A and B are shown apart, each in its own frame.
Chain A
Amino acid sequence: MSKILKLKKGFDIKLVGKAKLELVNFAPAQTFAIKPTDFVGLQRPKVLVNEGDTVKAGTPILIDKSMDQVIYAAPVSGEIVEIKRGDKRKLLEIKILADKTITHLTSGKTDLASLDRAALAAKLASSGTWPNIIQRPFGIVANPADTPKAIFVSAFDTHPLAPDYGFTLKGEEKAFQAGIDALAKLTSGKVHLNIDGSKPAPTVFAGVKNAQINQFSGPHPAGNVGVQIHHLDPINKGEIVWTVNPTGVVQIGKFILEGIYDASKIIAVTGSEVSKAAYVKTFVGANVSTFVKGNLNSGHVRVISGNVLTGEKIALEGTLGFYHNQITVIPEGDYFEFLGWAKPTTKLSFHRALGLFSFLTPNKEFVLDTNCRGEERAFVQTGVFEAVTPMDILPVYLLKAIMAEDFDEMEELGIYEVVEEDLALCEFVDVSKHPVQELVRKGIELIQYS
C-alpha cells in the first residue's frame, strides 16, 4: 500500500544560488577520476590498471579486495593519466583523460526474465553500476551476496540547493523503469519509490510500475532516504535494506537496456558565488574546474562537491564525488568578526535567538559562508536536535553513546537506522558545534568492525 506521510520536524536552509532549470554548455571536463575515498567501507582498494593504459567506459579499474566481485569502472573512455597516492601509498584517485567521443565496453542487453537473482546481482556487480547500491545499516556499498528485505529510492532531494531530479532525469523514463525492475528482482520484499508529496510527480516517476510509490512532504530531511525508511519499514538489528539514488537507478536501467555503463549525468552547479547557476551534463567523477573557473563572482570561495550539509570541500580543479549530483560554491569564512557573538545580526539561524523575525520573510534566501560561528563546547542546549530529526531517535543520547563507545547503548538507541546525512542538520544547528557527522561515522565503524 502506498503511504502518504507528512513530516513536520526539520529545517530548510534556503540559500542564494539555486540552479536555473536549463542546461548550460560549459566547456566539457577534460579529466575524470575515481576516488576510493568516495566509497565508504571500501577497505582494501586494488588498482587494476596502470598509468598509460587506455580504458573504455565500463572497464574495471578498481576493486575492493574484501569484496572483489564488485568492480569500480572507468566512467569514460580514455587514457589513465595518473594514479595518485598519498601518505603510506594510500590510493587517492585514478585519473582518466577522456576521449573526445566516449566508447563503451558493451555486454549486450539483459533479459531480466531469464536471469535469477544471483545471476542478475553478479552481472550488475561487474557492470560498474553496482556501487550505486548502498547498504543500510552502515551506508556502505552493498554486497551482491545479500538479499535485502526492501530497496528504497528517494526520488527527491531536500538538501540546500539540491538538483531537481524531475529535470535531470527528464526523458529517462524507460531506463528508470528498467532500473526499478532490476532492483525489484534483487530484493525479497518491495521496492519503495518515495516521491515529493508537495508537488505533482515528474513524468519520470509518475507512471513507475513494480514499485510502491510513497509520498513524503515536509522540510528537509524529508527527502533523506534514511528518514523515509524509518517511517516505512525501519531497520532492526540484523536486517539489511538497500538504497539507490534515482541517478543510479537510471544507470542500472541503461545497463539493463543497452548493456553499457553510461556514467553520464546532469549535475547542478549552484551556490551564491557562481555567476551562472544552472545544470550541466557531464560524467561521474568529472573535474569541476571548467564549470567553476570563469563562473565565479568572487575570488575567495570554497568549492563543495555535493551540498552544504553533507558535501566535501574540493579544490577549484577538484573531482566531483561519485555519489554527488551537484556542486556548491560559497564564500570562505576565515575572518574575525568583532563582537560577533553579541551584536544583532541577520544571519541565518534555526534558533529564534537570532532569527526572531525570520517568520516575516519565510522565503528569504541567504548567503552562508564557511565560518564555524563559534567554538566547540560541551552539550548544553537540549531539544534542538530532536526538532530537526523527524525520526523516533534521541540524537544527543545516541551521540553520547558513540562518544562513550558504548556498543549496547548505540544499538539500542538506533545506530542501525542512521548514516551521516540523516543527522547532518543536527551538525548545522548545534549550539555546541560538535562534529556530528564524523561522530556518526565513528559509531557506525565501531559497530561494523566489532
Chain B
Amino acid sequence: MKFLRDLLDKQRPLFEKGGKLEGLFYAFEAGETFLFSPKHTTGIKGAQVKDAIDLKRMMITVVIAMIPCLLFGIYNTGHQHMLATGATAGIWDNFGDKFTTGLILVLPIVIVAYAAGGLVEGIFAVIRKHPINEGFLVTGMLIPLVVPATTPLWQVAMATVFAVVIAKEVFGGTGMNVLNVAMTARAFLYFAYPAQISGDQVWTYLGDKAPVDGFSGATALSVVYDAGIQGVNAVDALNKHNSVLGDGLFSFYNMFMGWIPGSIGETSTLMVLIGAFILIATGVGSWKIIVAGFAGTYLMGFVMNLLAVNEYMALPAHYHWVMGGLAFGIVFMATDPVSAAQTETGKWVYGILIGVLTVIIRVLNPAYPEGIMLAVLFMNVFAPLIDYYVIKANKTRRLQRATV
C-alpha cells in the first residue's frame, strides 16, 4: 500500500490551496479518506483519544446488514421469473440460472443508483465545498432494494438524483435531511411513474417469455385488498392465489421466507430480520424503533381484527408483518437516525405510530395498497414534533425542580 500512499502524497499539492485543481479538493479528499483513514490527531485540550468508530464505519455496517436482502432479492427475482414462465417449480431448482437472471436485472440498478447518487454528491461537495457525505453509501444500496426489478434504469437514475438533491443536499447534506432519502426516491417514482411501480404487472420480470396460463402478478397486499372488497376470507384468498403455479404461494411461511413477488430487497422477512439482527447487535440501528414498529403494526392489526367490518380487517394481525415492505421499511428506513425521532422516548412513539399508520393506510385507504412508504415519510415529518415534546418534558422537569 506504500505506493498508493506515495501516489496520493505526490498528487496532494495539486488539490491543495493554490494548486491547479484546488476546486476539486473535496473530491480528492473523499477518494483519499476512503483509501486511508486520515492521520489527524486529537487537539491539545479535550479528549486525547477517540473511539474507533466514524461515520464511514457506521454506514458500511448498514450496507453489510443489507447484503442478505440483496442476495436473496437477486435470487428471488430469477425465481419469480422462472416460476411465472413455467420454467421451474421448486425453490432450489435451476439455482445458477435464477441467480444469473436476477443478477443481470438487479446489478445494473445498483450500479446506476450508486453512480447517479455518487455523481450528485460529488458535484455538491465540490460546489458547496464540504466533504462528501458517507450517507450515500447506504442510500445507494437502499434505493435498488425498494424498487421492482423491472424498473427502467433511467427512472432509477432520475429518482436517485431527485432524492439526493431535493431530500438531502438542499438541506445541507447528511445529517440535515428531514425525510429519509431512499424513501423519498421511492415516493418520487410512485407518484411520477406509477405505471412502473404499482399494479399487478411490474413485480415479476417476464422478459420476452409469456407467463403460464392463469398467472397473476398481483402482490399479497392487492390479493387481500380484493378479498376485502369481494367478501372472501383473506387467508383463503392468499392461499389460493396463483394456484396454477403451485400450492400456497402466499402462505404465511412463503411470505415470511420471501418467495413472493415484490420489490427487489423487501420480500423476505427472514432476510430483513437477519439485517435487523446485525443492526441491533452492532448498535447501529435503534432496537427501540424496530421493536416499536413491529409492535405498532400488530397492535393496529389487532384493533382491526376486533372491529372486523370487512375481510381485510379480519386478516390475522401477524400477516401484516410479512406482507409487502413493512419489515424492510421498519428495519432499514424507519431507523435512519437522521430522519427518525432522536430522543429515546421519542423513538418508541415514532416506531409505534409508523406501524399503526401503515396498517391504517393498507386496510382503510382505497388508493394505496402499501402503507409503509407513506407512513415512514409522514412520521419523518412528525419526528421533530415528537422530539419537541420529549425535550419539553425534560425542560419542565428541570424547571419544576427549581421551584420546589
Residues of B within 8 A of A431 (CB): 51, 53-55, 58
Q: Does B61 contact A (CB under 8 A)?
A: yes
B58 touches A380 (CB 8 A): yes
Instruction: State in angstroms the CA–CA spacing of A334 and B343 once bound together.
Output: 35
B35 touches A339 (CB 8 A): yes
A435 touches B43 (CB 8 A): yes
Given contacts A371-B40, A383-B347, 12 further A-B contacts (CB under 8 A): A308-B47, A309-B49, A313-B48, A338-B35, A345-B52, A351-B52, A352-B283, A353-B58, A380-B135, A382-B342, A413-B394, A430-B51
Q: Does A16 contact B (CB under 8 A)?
A: no
Instruction: Choose from B4, B176, B397 the contact partner of A378 (Cβ within 8 Å).
Output: B176
A 333-373 contacts with B by CB, 8 A: 333-342, 345, 347-354, 356, 368-373
Chain A's closest residue to B280 (CB) is A352
Instruction: State in angstroms the CA–CA spacing of A433 and B175 once bound together.
Output: 13
Residues of B within 8 A of A412 (CB): 395, 398-399
Instruction: State in angstroms the CA–CA spacing of A368 and B53 once bound together.
Output: 13
Name which of A185-193, A254-262, A420-428 contacts chain B. Answer: A420-428
Some 14 contacts from A to B, beta carbons below 8 A apart, are A336-B36, A339-B37, A353-B284, A371-B50, A377-B54, A377-B134, A378-B172, A380-B338, A381-B58, A392-B398, A424-B47, A431-B55, A437-B45, A438-B43
Given contacts A377-B175, A381-B58, are A352 and B282 in contact (CB under 8 A)? yes
Instruction: State in angstroms the CA–CA spacing of A332 and B60 once bound together.
Output: 27
Q: Does A297 contact B (CB under 8 A)?
A: no
- In the complex, which of the residues B41, B51, B342 has the most CB atoms of chain A within 10 Å of its own CB atom? B51
A336 touches B37 (CB 8 A): yes
Q: Does B57 contact A (CB under 8 A)?
A: yes
A interface majority secondary structure: loop
Q: Does A379 contact B (CB under 8 A)?
A: yes
Instruction: State in angstroms the CA–CA spacing of A334 and B37 once bound together.
Output: 10
Instruction: State in angstroms the CA–CA spacing of A427 and B43 once bound together.
Output: 12
Q: Does B318 contact A (CB under 8 A)?
A: no
Q: Mark interface residues in B120-135 (1 if CB within 8 Å of A CB, else 0).
A: 0000000000010111
Q: Does A172 contact B (CB under 8 A)?
A: no
A308 touches B60 (CB 8 A): no
The number of chain B residues with a CB under 8 A from chain A is: 60
Residues of A within 8 A of B209 (CB): none
B134 touches A373 (CB 8 A): no
Q: Does B344 contact A (CB under 8 A)?
A: yes
Q: Does B307 contact A (CB under 8 A)?
A: no
B 36-91 contacts with A by CB, 8 A: 36-58, 60-61
Chain B's closest residue to A420 (CB) is B46
Given contacts A353-B57, A380-B55, are A341 and B286 in contact (CB under 8 A)? no
Q: Mark interface residues in A319-343 (1 if CB within 8 Å of B CB, else 0).
A: 0000000001010111111111110
A348 touches B134 (CB 8 A): no
Residues of B within 8 A of A380 (CB): 55, 58, 135, 174-175, 337-338
Q: Does B391 contact A (CB under 8 A)?
A: yes
Instruction: State in angstroms the CA–CA spacing of A396 and B42 once bound together.
Output: 21
A337 touches B402 (CB 8 A): no
A337 touches B36 (CB 8 A): yes
Residues of A within 8 A of B5 (CB): 336, 338
Residues of A within 8 A of B402 (CB): 236-237
B 298-351 contacts with A by CB, 8 A: 337-338, 340, 342-344, 347
A 57-96 contacts with B by CB, 8 A: none
A 192-249 contacts with B by CB, 8 A: 234, 236-237
Residues of A within 8 A of B342 (CB): 382-383, 396
Q: Does A399 contact B (CB under 8 A)?
A: no
Instruction: State in angstroms the CA–CA spacing of A350 and B47 once bound together.
Output: 15
- In the complex, which of the residues A309, A310, A350, A428 has the most CB atoms of chain B within 10 Å of its own CB atom? A428
Q: Does B10 contact A (CB under 8 A)?
A: no
Instruction: State in angstroms the CA–CA spacing of A308 and B281 once bound together.
Output: 28
B57 touches A350 (CB 8 A): no
- In the complex, which of the residues B40, B48, B174, B338 has the most CB atoms of chain A within 10 Å of its own CB atom? B48
Chain B's closest residue to A377 (CB) is B55
Instruction: Choose from B54, B61, B397 the contact partner of A375 (Cβ within 8 Å).
Output: B54
